[in-house]
Structure 1
Amino acid sequence: MAASVSAKVPSRVQSNWSRRLSYVQDAALVCVSALFFYVHARHVIESHSVTNVFFAVEQGLLVGMFLMRRRSENTSTRPADWVVATIGGWLPLALRPHETGGSAELIGAGISMIGLTCVIVSFATLGKSFGVVAANRGLKVGGPYQFIRHPIYFSHATTMTGFVVANFWSYNVAILAIVTTFQVLRIAAEERVLVATSDYASYKERVRWRLVPGLY
């Protein structure tokens, strides 16, 4: 009996730790996002440019979905997964307006608009099964998930690429490169959890590509 009780303690402790850290993350994300929207809203007002509105709207949707997400008991407690998710999920908020000028702004805005449209479609399919840290919130296989396994990451990368094209600057390019690297690591962590806690392995056999068909 004693052995049975002690065996359950680590799981309960991990669950409580994960839940508390999740609430801290929620509060921090609200503060960071508020600063992000202030910077971009002020830029739109001062420059009268709406080039970056699509990216700002996408980030707002991401934050809203994150705060309304379904809580999961199968959230990874690996510190490395939390670091990867934090950098991959939050660092895009560090991107700053720096208009390139000319046709690059129109091209970038067009790419961001496509990315935002894909984000909305993906969110409509995913519902509240959205999160930052690797977790099992239910397996989705419909909509864009029939073609690639991580359509939201693809959509986010598209919107962010559009922003960088319209705001081409070494600082923004570096942020894009770092975020892309950590998003790939984030995908690996997420799939590790899903394979261990669902029938994700069979889903992987049906949908081969993670982000870009024929490439990755």
Structure 2
Amino acid sequence: MTIVKTETSSRRMDAGRLVMVPLCTLMLTADAIILTQSVGPGFAGVLRWISNALVGAFYVLIIWAYLRRGPAKATTTSVVARTAAVTGTLTPFVFPMLPNGTVSMSRELVADVFLVTGTVWSLWSLRTLGKNLSIIAQAREVVEHGPYRWIRHPLYTGEIVSSLGLAIAVGTVPAAAVWCTLVALQVYRASQEEQILITTLPPYTAYRARTAALLPGVF
């Protein structure tokens, strides 16, 4: 993986901010429109409304993070790594475009539990990561508090869990295939980020030695 050292000048244009702030503002607006619709029937309907509200909060935190962040100390120039990062970010949006399987209230309830749980975890991770957020592999500083005390990529873990909820909600083989693809992409993204963090931030090596990547005791 090729790494470019970045000048720490506040005047340097942040391309990620120029893309992500307008995009997340658009997504936040769409989510707000969804929230104005009536809540679905039963507990599953309430959970679905809560999950949509949490997604809106997620977009708010992304906007907040990109507006606050400073220049990176290093950035990958690998086309493969950049492509995987963007693809992994956009993959969850594939689920709503897939045809649904047989409707099942119990399956929808399980799906919403995963979706809410994963989104709450992602919100905590994103709030902790703050101005260090980046879609592509970059190095700013080592974050070791919040969920980062236990795993190095908790935001990816949350996205994997919430996307599992989306896959269960669709309930088809293509949805399962999309979810497996997402997991593979997130694992690859994590490995690419670790290369740049180890190279650029010396304290990261010790942090990496005492924490799991995505799931404590497993990986």
Matching residue of 1:72: 71
Task: Provide the C-alpha distance between the structure 2 equivalents of 1:54 and 1:46, rounded to a whole number of angstroms.
Answer: 10
Q: 1:61 to 1:171 in 2, by over 3 A?
A: farther
Q: Provide the aligned C-alpha RMSD in A.
A: 3.3
Letter in 2 for 1:138: E
Structure 1 residues 81 and 72 mapped into 2: Cα distance closer, same or farther (>3 Å)?
farther
Structure 2 unaligned regions, length at least 5: none
Deviation at 1:29, TM superposition (A): 3.5
Q: Which runs of 5+ in 1 are unaligned?
A: 1-9
Partner of 1:211: 214
Calculate percent identity across the aligned residue pairs. 22
1:105-124 mapped onto 2 (5 Å cutoff): 105-124=108-127
Shift of 1:135: 0.9
Number of matched residues?
Answer: 202
Distance 1:155 1:20, change over 3 A: closer
Partner of 2:34: 41
1:56-67 alignment, distance < 5 Å: 56-67=52-63
Report if aligned partners of 1:36, 1:94 keep a CA contact under 8 Å in 2: no
* Structure 1 pair 71–53 and aligned structure 2 pair: CA distance change class (3 A): farther
CA-to-aligned-CA distance 1:35-84 (integer Å, 9 cap, x gap): 9749x939x65976455445544544443333333143322222222101
Residues 58 and 119, structure 1, Cα contact 8 Å, conserved in 2: no
Larger gyration radius, structure 1 or structure 2: 1
Residues 155-191 of structure 1, C-alpha deviation per residue, up to 9 Å, x if partnerless?
Answer: 1111111222122133422321221111111101111
Secondary structure in structure 2 of the residue aligned to 1:141: coil
CA gap of 1:138–1:12, structure 2 versus 1, over 3 A, is closer
Give the counterpart of 2:142 among 119, 139, 143: 139
